[in-house]
A and B are shown apart, each in its own frame.
Chain A
Amino acid sequence: QKEVEQDPGPLSVPEGAIVSLNCTYSNSAFQYFMWYRQYSRKGPELLMYTYSSGNKEDGRFTAQVDKSSKYISLFIRDSQPSDSATYLCAMSESSASKIIFGSGTRLSIRP
């Protein structure tokens, strides 16, 4: 079993929809949770960075962490065609330890 599981998609939604992306994990020691966006032929870019449980909002993006269920989510409101990309979740036990990534979800926003 992988430490971090992420549905690869692809996920296709119409412009303006709310998108929900999710990851589950098995290591209860994970404390730091991240979401990255990766456009084709580019390096990943950090979207959201959260510590422990709870919600974090940044513009149209909201990250949620539920440590009791070992489940994290990224919500994108008012989705735009420019949000079409692969989204990767990642987590680590500390800010200085190794980082484990999910396999990524390919998202397509239809105009």
Chain B
Amino acid sequence: EAQVTQNPRYLITVTGKKLTVTCSQNMNHEYMSWYRQDPGLGLRQIYYSMNVEVTDKGDVPEGYKVSRKEKRNFPLILESPSPNQTSLYFCASKSRGGETQYFGPGTRLLVL
């Protein structure tokens, strides 16, 4: 079954405490990306990766880091989380042409 998994699904943390949200896909997709979703703002892309070791900034990259050391994994790192990073985060992957795309179930993050 085609799947994008994210962990954790829910996370409460405090300002400044580094955290990592993992993302994994089982479809051998080259393109992976991270989004945040906030009320009234829709989905905004944080970072995307076109292949292993190739990443680029999306619309809202500030305060986030990513790495793509393996094709299947694309973790999102918040080195020093702040309250304005409280949001719903989605990881996604898509095929090279884009016709096949899958989103993960989301990670709800609260930064106190």
Q: Which of B59, B90, B103 contacts A100 (CB 8 A)?
A: B59
Q: How large is the interface on A (under 10, 10 to 19, 20 to 34, 35 or more residues)?
A: 20 to 34
The answer to whether B40 touches A8 (Cβ under 8 A) is yes
CB distance from A102 to the nearest CB of B (A): 6
Q: What are the residues of chain B within 8 A of A102 when measuring CB–CB?
A: 42
**Contact stretch, chosen from B14-22, B70-78, B79-87, B93-101:** B93-101
The answer to whether A96 touches B44 (Cβ under 8 A) is no
Q: What are the residues of chain A within 8 A of B57 when measuring CB–CB?
A: 98
Q: What are the residues of chain B within 8 A of A82 when measuring CB–CB?
A: none
CB distance from B60 to the nearest CB of A (A): 11
Assembled-state Cα–Cα distance A98/B44 (Å): 10
Interface residues of A in 1-22 (CB under 8 A from B): 6, 8
Interface residues of A in 75-111 (CB under 8 A from B): 88, 90, 92, 95-96, 98-104
User: Taking A8-B40, A49-B98, A96-B31 as contacts, is the C-beta distance between A44 and B90 under 8 angstroms?
Assistant: yes
Interface string of B22-63 (1 = CB under 8 A from A): 000000000101010000111111001010000011110000
**Chain A residues within CB distance 8 Å of chain B:** 6, 8, 32, 34, 41-46, 49, 88, 90, 92, 95-96, 98-104
